[in-house]
A and B are shown apart, each in its own frame.
Chain A
Amino acid sequence: MQNQQEVNRLKEIVQNLLDEAKQQGATAAEAGLSQENGLSVSVRLGDVETIEHHCSQGLGITVYFGQRKGSASTTDLSVESIKETVSAACSIARYTSEDEYAGLPEKALLATSFPDLDVNHPWAITADEAIALAIECEDAARHYDAEITNSEGASVNTHQGIHVLGNSLGFLHGSLSTRHSLSCSVLAQRGESMQRDYWYTVARNANNLEAAVEVGQKAAQRTLRRLEGRSLSTRQCPVLYSAEIASGLLSSFIGAISGGNLYRKSSFLLDALDTQVFPGFVHIHEQPHLIGASGSSAYDSEGVATHTRDLVTDGILRSYVLGTYSARKLGLHSTGNAGGVRNLTIDPGVLDFDGLLKQMDTGLLVTELMGQGVNILTGDYSRGAAGFWVEKGQIQYPVEEITIAGNLKDMLRNIVAVGNDVDYRGNVRTGSILVERMSIAGQ
């Protein structure tokens, strides 16, 4: 109840902002306000390392004077500061250019129904309880094996946020959401070889977090299996992206079909609508209304209603990912994707992880990628990698200090299989992805 009162108070501030903008001569305006509270504790080697109390707020406003636009933001919510912030935005709009594509979304596209997506579950955990949980997690990792020799610690985080969005078309909505996580990172040593890895669990509802012991044990297992990694000779071979990093491959694809990159013509998928981008068995859709999921929301960052929709069916690109501005630049309508996609899902195939290893037979299993070597304009892809060499469907030994390279256009088209070992933690839900062939550079 108290929360709802707070939402109402913040909605009032946003309404005041919009009124103030109108007062100062703006023809249209959009404003957003966020407030976040949280607790983070971290422990290391069985003792507390940090206790952090989070409490932050911020508001932002975009004003339009006809087709000219200006924006401003502040962390100070006082009445005086609100006036100044609106003035700053209005003053900027005097210097920006007329842009025929600028403006608020079409009113008809704004969200009008706000289903309860079950994303708000405050966690009544005290600092002492959080410390105990983190210690339980780290202990499970540290005592897992004698080769676990050091720790970067374990941490528990809990956050609740209130986000209010309003615009001068009459849209005004506030939502509450929570996010809780538990993570652990440990080191292992064998002779000269020292490795570190981690595991984490994250959920809207603390009841859905993995058990602390499980998180600790996974962190330990993932670290131990990397010991005594070696490089590979330079070669071409199949590459299996493990589920927890395969999401990056799909994120690159989303980047290439996002409005901003399309209208700037800086995408390797220009004019790819209704063409074959993936093999025929690939289906990719967006599920913004999934109950309790990490990306769930009834509207995007402009207030446009989100929809469950297909992006790729039978391997064919069916839709772009657009906000209002980029849609207008392209002569299309917003797809409710200002701020990105929500709960992007690639349909899992029939094979589990072991099945994928068998299908690959001989090749590279990648479990970690490093660096930003992805060029969305050309599709050129070259990244540092670590993982395991696989022969006859069996993991042989850990591999490190290599790169994997190719061109995304070919990589997407040459996906051979998608596993059913889906990682549900993030905003992109995928199983492991097997790519037919890439270039490996090593010793």
Chain B
Amino acid sequence: MKILNLAKQAILVPAGIQDADIEKIMARLLTSSVDAADIYFQSSHSESWVMEGGIIKEGSHSIEQGAGVRAVSGEKTGFAYSDRIELPVLLEAANNVRAIGRQGQEAQIGLIHAANTVQYYPVANPLKSLGEQQKIDLLRQVDTETRKLDHRIEEVIISLNGVHETILVANQDGSLAADIRPLVRMNVSVIVVENGRREQGSMGGGGRSDYNYFVELNRGLGYGREAVRQALVNLEAQEAPAGNMTVVLGSGWPGILLHEAIGHGLEGDFNRKGTSAFSGRVGERVASDLCTVVDDGTIAGRRGSLSIDDEGTPTENTVLIENGILKGYMQDKLNARLMGVKSTGNGRRESYASLPMPRMTNTYMLAGKHNPEEIIKSVKKGLYAKNFAGGQVDITSGKFVFSASEAYLIEDGKITRPVKGATLIGNGPDVLTKVSMVGTDLELDSGVGSCGKEGQSVPVGVGQPTIKIDGITVGGTSI
């Protein structure tokens, strides 16, 4: 009950909302033709600090709070929200949204506090985990140490962000569930210059933890070193090759391949509607038998992890592809109900002001049996892509892109010279069928990913071991 009580203290008590009031709003939402309804309360405190040009340039603090009410009848959804958590406002919102169903009798419900679920992160407020001066000192230390690393460094920009979010969700069965979610992130980007050529590099990390995460193991300093290393590599980079070729993807963040190529295409809403290139393909081969891919919201402290999703469902470790065979989709309640399956705990929303939908948590490929060096050695001529920027997918045609930010040529089984970043493009349903080697070195990303869908952004994680793809199009300029 601890989390639930803390959440009530944070949101309901200051607003003067009692359990009986939630029952009243829910009763208003539920008419005879409503299949599901929920009330989602959220309170989020966040801050950000930016160091640039050697000074603490900006700091900001933000409070976002409100409630959203939803009624679902068949495939129809009515939704309203307000920044004001006040009974009359929420009753009015409930009146508006229940019009989605046919008129009927109001149902009565009694609120039941949801059973305790496993917590994958601490409840303490990360914004208070360091004093203001300590946050500043941390930024200054990373700035000073990073600038010392190389005389070619021209600028260092460091940002530090923290969020403390509390949510409460009441469902039509009367269950009331809560979650308290910390999230921190630090990012270092550097600009280097040599003989008039300017390049950049950036590295960051974080997770559902507090600011001590960046002090422990000197992670913050590590981001600075890595950003500088990348920027210096870019100073040497020549034109990237163009055309279809063998590509070896590094471990960790390059797992964005999975997120774009197959992840979105396996979200329940697209598959219920039959608009995904993966629709109706459960049980079919969609990858080589070396590939097993999961979406796992249950990893302690990861950026994409959630104890419960935004509909109150505990998250799971969901197998999406097992030894190359498509096993299932990621579901929220609405799409699960309409497809006759159970929610996999993937119902997420950006905030109270947006409707939930099936979203990824941490999506990664399990380790294989090849030594990463052996994978590189097996390539006569190809590209080794070690780091990536963002990506995008058209879930209907299956075409996806992701952009390499650090890449090298492989010649005769050896990594030779760095090439400029380039976009890779492929076809989701068949790219994984071309995976011919999977490394032993599974790694998750450092905790910087955000995923956008229909205008809503949520934090996610990705990961993979080193993998070899026998043919994918690399969008360089060197023909």
Instruction: Show the binding face of A for B, using Cβ within 8 Å.
Output: 44, 47-58, 69-77, 81, 85, 88-89, 91-99, 127, 150, 152, 187, 194-196, 226, 229, 231, 234-236, 264-266, 370-373, 375, 377-378, 380, 382-384, 386, 400-407, 439-443
Q: How far is the CA of A386 from the CA of B400 in the complex (A)?
A: 11
Query: Cβ of B33 < 8 Å from any Cβ of A?
Result: no
A441 touching B60 in the complex, CB below 8 Å, given contacts A56-B81, A405-B422:
no
Query: Cβ of B133 < 8 Å from any Cβ of A?
Result: yes
A382 touching B403 in the complex, CB below 8 Å, given contacts A54-B353, A401-B426, A405-B475:
yes
Nearest 5 pairs between A and B by C-beta? A403-B475, A384-B401, A97-B55, A196-B396, A371-B401
Residues 420 to 475 of chain B near chain A (Cβ within 8 Å): 420-427, 473-475
11 contacts between A and B (CB under 8 A): A50-B78, A73-B63, A92-B61, A95-B132, A194-B396, A370-B392, A370-B400, A371-B390, A402-B425, A403-B473, A442-B473
CB within 8 Å: A-B pair count: 246
A159 CB → nearest B CB, Å: 13
B243 touches which one: A93, A372, A442 (CB < 8 A)?
A: A442
> Which residues of chain B are near A226, meaning CB under 8 Å?
397
Q: How far is the CA of A264 from the CA of B243 in the complex (A)?
A: 34
> Which residues of chain A are near B423, meaning CB under 8 Å?
370-371, 373, 382-384, 403, 405
CB <8 Å contact, B155 and A265: yes
CB <8 Å contact, A70 and B243: no
Query: Cβ of B380 < 8 Å from any Cβ of A?
Result: no
B61 touches which one: A57, A71, A266, A382 (CB < 8 A)?
A: A71
Q: How far is the CA of A93 from the CA of B107 in the complex (A)?
A: 52
CB <8 Å contact, B397 and A196: yes
CB <8 Å contact, A373 and B401: yes
Besides A55-B81, A56-B353, A92-B60, 20 more A-B contacts (Cβ < 8 Å) are A51-B79, A52-B80, A56-B66, A71-B60, A71-B61, A73-B60, A73-B63, A74-B62, A75-B63, A77-B83, A95-B133, A97-B57, A127-B99, A150-B274, A370-B392, A384-B423, A400-B397, A403-B473, A439-B475, A441-B473
CB <8 Å contact, B77 and A382: no
A187 touching B275 in the complex, CB below 8 Å, given contacts A75-B65, A75-B83:
yes
Q: How far is the CA of A406 from the CA of B478 in the complex (A)?
A: 10
CB <8 Å contact, A49 and B77: yes
CB <8 Å contact, B60 and A72: yes
Q: How far is the CA of A16 from the CA of B393 in the complex (A)?
A: 47
- Nearest chain-B residue to A153 (Cβ)? B273
B199 touches which one: A74, A152, A378 (CB < 8 A)?
A: A378
> Which residues of chain B are near A98, meaning CB under 8 Å?
55
Query: Cβ of B320 < 8 Å from any Cβ of A?
Result: no
Instruction: Identify which of B82, B353, B422 gathers the most chain A CB atoms within 10 Å of its CB.
Output: B422
Q: How large is the interface on B (under 10, 10 to 19, 20 to 34, 35 or more residues)?
A: 35 or more
A441 touching B58 in the complex, CB below 8 Å, given contacts A51-B97, A373-B389, A403-B423:
no
Query: Cβ of B277 < 8 Å from any Cβ of A?
Result: yes
Residues 72 to 99 of chain B near chain A (Cβ within 8 Å): 75-84, 93, 96-97, 99
Q: How far is the CA of A386 from the CA of B274 in the complex (A)?
A: 22
A377 CB → nearest B CB, Å: 5
> Which residues of chain A are near B397, meaning CB under 8 Å?
194-196, 226, 229, 386, 400
CB <8 Å contact, B136 and A187: no
Query: Cβ of B394 < 8 Å from any Cβ of A?
Result: yes
Query: Cβ of B198 < 8 Å from any Cβ of A?
Result: yes
CB <8 Å contact, A74 and B421: no
- Nearest chain-A residue to B135 (Cβ)? A95
> Which residues of chain B are near A403, meaning CB under 8 Å?
242, 401, 422-425, 473-475
B396 touches which one: A195, A383, A442 (CB < 8 A)?
A: A195
Q: How far is the CA of A370 from the CA of B80 in the complex (A)?
A: 33
Q: How far is the CA of A54 from the CA of B157 in the complex (A)?
A: 37
Query: Cβ of B228 < 8 Å from any Cβ of A?
Result: no
B42 CB → nearest A CB, Å: 10
B67 CB → nearest A CB, Å: 11
> Which residues of chain A are near B389, meaning CB under 8 Å?
372-373
Instruction: Show the binding face of B for A, using Cβ within 8 Å.
Output: 52, 55-66, 75-84, 93, 96-97, 99-100, 132-133, 135-136, 154-155, 157, 191, 193, 198-200, 240, 242-244, 273-275, 277, 353, 355, 389-394, 396-397, 399-403, 420-427, 473-479
CB <8 Å contact, B76 and A48: yes
CB <8 Å contact, A442 and B244: yes
A49 CB → nearest B CB, Å: 6
- Nearest chain-A residue to B193 (Cβ)? A265
Q: How far is the CA of A229 from the CA of B427 in the complex (A)?
A: 12
> Which residues of chain B are near A49, meaning CB under 8 Å?
75-77
B280 CB → nearest A CB, Å: 11
A55 touching B80 in the complex, CB below 8 Å, given contacts A150-B275, A377-B200:
yes
CB <8 Å contact, B60 and A70: yes
A380 touching B421 in the complex, CB below 8 Å, given contacts A194-B277, A373-B389, A441-B473:
yes
> Which residues of chain A are near B78, meaning CB under 8 Å?
50-51
> Which residues of chain B are near A373, meaning CB under 8 Å?
389, 401, 403, 421-423, 475
- Nearest chain-B residue to A94 (Cβ)? B132
Q: How far is the CA of A439 from the CA of B57 in the complex (A)?
A: 41
A53 touching B93 in the complex, CB below 8 Å, given contacts A372-B389, A405-B476:
yes
A196 CB → nearest B CB, Å: 4
